Amino acid sequence: MPISTNSIIHYTDTIAKLEAILVEGLGIKYCAEKLALHGESHSHAAHPMISFCDVPLSQSYKHFSAYGKYGIGLSKTWANNMGVNPVLYIESKSSISKTIKNLITERRKKDSNLTDVQKDEILRIKCFTKNYSGPLKRKEMNEKNYRFYDEREWRLVPEAEQLDGAKFSVSLSAYEKEKDDYNDKIKDMRFTFMPNDISYIIVDKTQEIPQIINKLRSEYSNRCTAQELDILFSKISSTEQILSDY
């Protein structure tokens, strides 16, 4: 049994959001994270991104609890073309954690010799970095030492110039005060895909499958042939089926 898939899957929590993704593409939001670093140092910030995982469906039960029971799987060819990349998982006491801490510390110095480009690149490395484990409180999940490494997360992080003036990095304190305002600035940004990029479409209940078929029939009839549409229908499954059959 493989420990990863040839697709990356983005999970969401309502059928309305899934339908919006199928019609408009993937929207982006700021993700607020607390990164524990070497020597009890921390970096708390929010960055715009879209998260995916490549965990096989048979092992995805924790994702359903934490991130939602709806999802879309896209090919890794699409992921590579879009610049999506796996997360770098670190232990806070490790040598690489110390290296990242030193880079962030140098970036924060007022008298740093780093160029603006180098400072931006350090931020980019940081927003692809996540702790191996730590506390997670989200939806049905509330664990003190959740193993993030098991998520096999991939991230799509836009280039700063794609944000049309929106900030690439926001301090956690500022973000928590004006979360809606920050996300409103990037709400119209979409990352699209073709029908043949889709590997999976996941709904919560099996009885919701006809609703998605009708949505695909109305929105995709002018995007693909009747045969391609039939193939797309075959890629629909439900969390209910996955939990029962895998």
Q: Where are the domains of the chain?
A: 7-245
Find where tokens 């926001």 sit.
170
Mean pLDDT of 137-151: 84
| Tokens linked to 179 | 């979360």
pLDDT score for 194: 94
pLDDT at 2 exceeding the cut of 70: no
| φ, ψ of residue 95 in degrees (nearest 5) | -70, -35
Query: 80: how many CB neighbours lie within 10 A of its CB?
Result: 10
pLDDT digits over 18-45, tens only? 999 999 999 999 999 999 999 888 999 9
Helix axes 116-127, 95-108, angle to 10 degrees: 140
Mean pLDDT of 202-230: 95
Q: Is the pTM of this model over 0.85?
A: yes
- Return all residues near 101 (Cβ < 8 A) that are at least 6 apart: 37, 38, 39, 41, 43
pLDDT at 229 exceeding the cut of 70: yes
| Tokens linked to 11 | 């999970």
Residue 127 to residue 154: CA distance in whole angstroms: 11
The SS3 call for residue 99 is: helix
pLDDT score for 143: 85
